[in-house]
Structure 1
Amino acid sequence: MKKKVVFILGIGRSGSTLLNYILGSHPDCFDLNEISKLPQFYRHRHRHRDFWEETGKFWEEKFTPEELKMLVAGLSNRRITPYIPLKVERFLREISGTDRIFNSYSLIFSKLDATVLIDSSKYVDWVSKKLQSKEFRSGQIDGYLIHLIRDGRAVLNSYLRWDKNMTVEKFSHRWSRLMKEDENLFNQFPSERKMMVRYEELASEPKATTEKICQMLDLEFQPEMLEYWKHEHFGIEGNFGTRSLIAKYKSQKSDSKVEEVHGDYYQKQGFQIKLDLRWKNELDPEKIEEFYRLTQGENKQYEWD
């Protein structure tokens, strides 16, 4: 089977970690989660000691120190050689056949048995730049795009709960800009390799929604995918709440931020995929009104009632 990379596109707090884990639980898939953060974790190891003491061990065992350094450099979107612009170096390395460092997903595939990688880094700039690499342009790897959307009111509520410095005004401008960027990229993408997925449908009808995605990817749906907490995941970062079910299943302590931000919500949830509609009880009507005014009602098409 031809290698595939599935890019999950969307705004944070829209269910990308959940979708990443579900797809990554398929035997032919490997979920990278937010692989875009690996360079940051690598450069600032002292700040991310927990990662390198746990999940990071997988990456250090799979890659030699030199390979890991190469992977980080290729993922970073920064200059590889000082004083040479990145675009110039990409061009020169490509024509000289020394561009392996820029084909990060091929390097990852070489270390795994998977035929499909799931990248939930989410943002347009990341996806666009990665698709420009030779491994995609040459047809060596096929890129797929899933635009994950969620009712903006739920996303707003999640941001306000998580970030005490967030305001409705700040969120609204950011939400409107990112939604436009996502839509533009999605509309330009080949129709046979893209799909729009609603978080609300994924969470309320996980089997039917996952079956549709598997069909697009030419994968046989496996019911065990929906019990993502029973599977091993070595991707980078991801939503703390969604990850907490994995820790709970393994009888491990969840990140302290989970209880601090969500109280006992995830503890009471049990082992299941559950539609999160907390915004209906937590979000003030005045804030919803301000959000709609600032975004000129753009959320109407994404409402889930």
Structure 2
Amino acid sequence: MQKSVVFIIGIGRSGSTLMDLMLGSHPRAFSLGEISKLPDFVKRGKRLCMLEDSHFWEEQFTETERQDLARGMSGHRLHRHIPLKLERWVRGWLGNDAILNPYSRLFEKIDADVLIDSSKYFSWLNQRLAAREFQQQWLRPFLIHMVRDGRAVVNSYLRIYPDRGIEWLTQHWLNELEQKKQLYDRHPSDRKLTVHYEALASDPEGTLKEVCDAIGLEFTPDMIEYWKHPHHHVAGSRGTNSMIAKYRGQKARQPLETAHGDYYDKIDFEIKLDLRWRGELSAENLAVFERMAGDRNRPFAWPRDGETAPSSGLRA
């Protein structure tokens, strides 16, 4: 099997961490989380994994190797006076560009066939896909576009950033959606898939089977219970990660009560469809969202018009 990197794209609050950790629970896959944050974490001397009992990055990579990973992923010049584009070309010509092909370096340390990157940022994806490791097909890139009912996304952001207001957050959702669509549309059709968060959360087995088939992994049922598996991901949703800490009898690294109350404390060890927006989004805020983004949200509204239960929600 050719080594693959699965890039999960989409606006935040759309289930990217959930998908990342489920796929990373496969015995031949590895969750990187939002590894785009690694350069900043290394620079500031922060621990890399969200989970307190993980020492993977410190044990598998020397300080020099972590610094090199950070430099290669940063998107900044390696040498002050040499433009990165020129240095990338020269290093590629000389066959001395390992530092600029970070996923290949990760595969040297990680015994897996698939790496999962849920960084999501538009600029990050453009930089990564331009690297020689993908351009010369050493590695196979696969895109998963996670989408969710825009009302749920905006409500989730309102919970965290109430001062930004419904209009700003709705416009942000529209902007992010268009940006990710541009990236998704130009990717080959046999190397991409759109997945609804609501489909994944309401039918995790059926949805994951289809995703695994598209990626080239054999589905295993215990992938769904991601909290039971070892993970070493760099960053991701605090709520989704809290299930791992809870299963291990630990406290979440960052408190959730301010934004989520006791929502996650009350959840058993299960995948639960989060539809809190229906009870939390005010009529006034709903009206603003409908005015600004109602038509654009139609393909993502859940359940869909005329449906009493969700369908798979997957499409190439």
Change beyond 3 A, Cα 1:282–1:23:
same
> 1:192: Cα distance to partner?
0.9
- Post-superposition offset of 1:200: 0.1
The correspondence of residues 5-154 of structure 1 with structure 2, limited to 5 A, is 5-45=5-45, 48=46, 54=52, 57-154=55-152
Matching residue within 208, 211, 232 for 2:209 = 211
Post-superposition Cα deviations, 1:177-216, rounded to whole Å, max 9, x if no partner, equal 1111111111111111111100000000000000001101
State whether residues 152 and 302 of structure 1, in contact with CA within 8 Å, keep that contact through their aligned partners in structure 2.
yes
Are 2:284 and 1:286 aligned?
yes
Equivalences for 1:214-293 in 2 at 5 Å? 214-293=212-291
Q: Secondary structure at the match of 2:171?
A: helix
- Runs of 4+ that moved beyond 4 A: 49-53
Instruction: Quote the residue 2:199 is aligned against.
Output: 201
* Worse-matched range after superposition: 97-106 or 260-269: 260-269
Letter in 2 for 1:171: L
Structure 1 runs not aligned, ≥5 long: none
SS of corresponding position for 1:166: helix
AA partner of residue 268 (structure 2):
G
Using the TM superposition, give the Cα deviation of residue 137 of structure 1 relative to its aligned residue in structure 2, in angstroms: 0.7
Q: CA deviation at 1:296?
A: 5.9
- State the Cα RMSD in Å: 1.6
Amino acid at match of 1:73: R
1:93-145 superposed Cα distances (whole Å, 9 cap, x missing partner): 11111111000000000001101000000122211210110000111000000
What code does the residue aligned with 2:95 have? G
Structure 1 length-normalised TM: 0.96
Equivalent residue pairs, number: 303
Amino acid at match of 1:10: G
Q: Which amino acid aligns with 1:257?
A: P
Q: Distance in 2 between matches of 1:199 and 1:51?
A: 24
Identity of aligned residues (%): 48
Summarize the Cα distance change of 1:296–1:200 in structure 2 as closer, same or farther, 3 Å threshold: closer
**1:147-202 deviations in whole A, cap 9, x for unaligned?**
10000000000000012322112112211111111111111111111111000000
CA distance in 2, matches of 1:105, 1:22: 20
Distance, in Å, in 2 between the alignment partners of 1:127 and 1:49 is 24
Q: Is the 8 A contact 2:48 2:57 kept in 1?
A: no
Structure 1: distance between partners of 2:147 and 2:199 = 10
**Contact 2:9-2:144 within 8 A present in 1 as well:** yes
| Greater mean alpha carbon deviation, residues 91-100 or residues 255-264 | 255-264
Is residue 41–residue 48 contact of structure 2 (8 Å, CA) maintained in 1?
Answer: no
2:149 is aligned with what amino acid?
A: D
Relative distance call for 1:53 and 1:210 in structure 2 (3 A) is closer
